[in-house]
Structure 1
């Protein structure tokens, strides 16, 4: 009975990816901008699946997201095992393409997370890179930010009052994924996109893996080598759940 429950849960987690590729995501975002309809975007990876199995609040928030893409080669591979092909869509690679859609639609954007200096530099570089883009508001929450607390409520209200139509969240998991649907209730015309360290990459405060490393599907190893104290335990947990996810994915295809 327990094994069946685990299989069902794993299949449910893998099935959270409901947007097959970047173009499908951008097309939907453009439609939402045109109708002034808010949305939430999450990028599923193995670390998220570990957290989904441990944190009910994270699970509940994740299930409220409108658009979920596959951020991680293992997710792409496992969905292939299920017979459901999806493309790799890293969250950090979504910033410029979605910002370009916003600029074309004359939708002002917000940046929330990271540090004030990172936000300032990222905003300057994005506006220089993308003609017509307006970064209207930049908010660096205080240390220990509660994604459903008083500060979160104030930020959500600020976003609504500023009439931004897009907000990139660089709060890290699980905070950004919990904050997104929370804030969407108060700013229903705003789209929320969780992008992790994406703004740090743009600002140059963190360095992303070179393209050749990404093409070899070794970005996780690059990241772990740059910060083993923080990431070694995380990736170990990810590797531990892979066999069970693979068995579940094979079972899903049989069904």
Structure 2
């Protein structure tokens, strides 16, 4: 069973700041319905998720299901953590690595982050090879690059389940580094992908906006997510005693 470990953004950021101050690492996963679908099918993904030190709600259905179970949690998308964590890293002198996406996206994202947060030190930018196997030699090589760089915060933009599996592996090798799985977050920072408008997000319709922009890839994904909702709602009601 996967649980939300940090229900509020302020509490999450305060905990991460404390870990930066003491040199303690962490792994942060952002739970959504697509992850739950994958967790049921992929034992390696589940094993990686179970060792994440921080899990937050990335998706309104997770927020609603938690509320139905009697637990209030805030919506904390992974892509929205890049800015506050980059600002915190600049203020606290924490060296940062960006891993994932393409070289062009990484370069543009780094430029924009450094412009926004003077003093931010990006010590590694790692664009993975096509068809990356994070459990094989390529994954080992990226972990070695992170070790050499001295990074203490790593934004992982590989998509699920690769980013969470790599985070679990890398955290065991680099216990003083924090790993944050952010999906397409660096693409949003760089401008190579466009996120749904703010009003669409406030109306909890980002999923519809995304599906309309890429129906071929996302229709089946969202259908699988919708199919598990009734069972999840029933479980949440039982947890609350309804």
Task: Decide: shared fold, TM above 0.5.
Answer: yes
Tell me the secondary structure at the aligned position of residue 41 of structure 2: coil
Distance 2:10 2:33 in 1: 23
| Unaligned segments of structure 1, at least 5 residues | 1-11
Question: What is the aligned partner in structure 2 of residue 167 from structure 1?
Answer: 154
Question: What is the aligned partner in structure 2 of residue 7 from structure 1?
Answer: none
Q: How does 1:25-104 map to 2 (within 5 A)?
A: 25-104=12-91
Question: What is the aligned partner in structure 1 of residue 241 from structure 2?
Answer: 254
User: What is the TM-score normalised by the length of structure 1?
Assistant: 0.93
Tell me the secondary structure at the aligned position of residue 95 of structure 1: helix
Question: What is the aligned partner in structure 1 of residue 200 from structure 2?
Answer: 213
Distance 1:227 1:86 in 2: 29
Question: What is the aligned partner in structure 1 of residue 116 from structure 2?
Answer: 129
Structure 1 residue 186: Cα displacement: 1.4
Structure 1 residue 131: Cα displacement: 2.2
User: What is the TM-score normalised by the length of structure 2?
Assistant: 0.98
Structure 1 residue 25: Cα displacement: 1.0
Distance 2:140 2:11 in 1: 31
Question: What is the aligned partner in structure 1 of residue 191 from structure 2?
Answer: 204
Aligned residues of 1:165 and 1:191 also touching (Cα < 8 A) = yes
Tell me the secondary structure at the aligned position of residue 141 of structure 1: coil
Aligned residues of 1:95 and 1:198 also touching (Cα < 8 A) = yes
Question: What is the aligned partner in structure 1 of residue 172 from structure 2?
Answer: 185
CA distances 1:177-201 after superposition (whole Å, capped 9, x unpaired): 1110101111111100000000001
**Aligned residues between the structures:** 242
Is residue 172 of structure 2 the alignment partner of residue 146 of structure 1? no
CA distances 1:145-200 after superposition (whole Å, capped 9, x unpaired): 11111111111111112111100000000100111010111111110000000000
CA RMSD of aligned residues (A): 0.9
Distance 1:157 1:23 in 2: 32
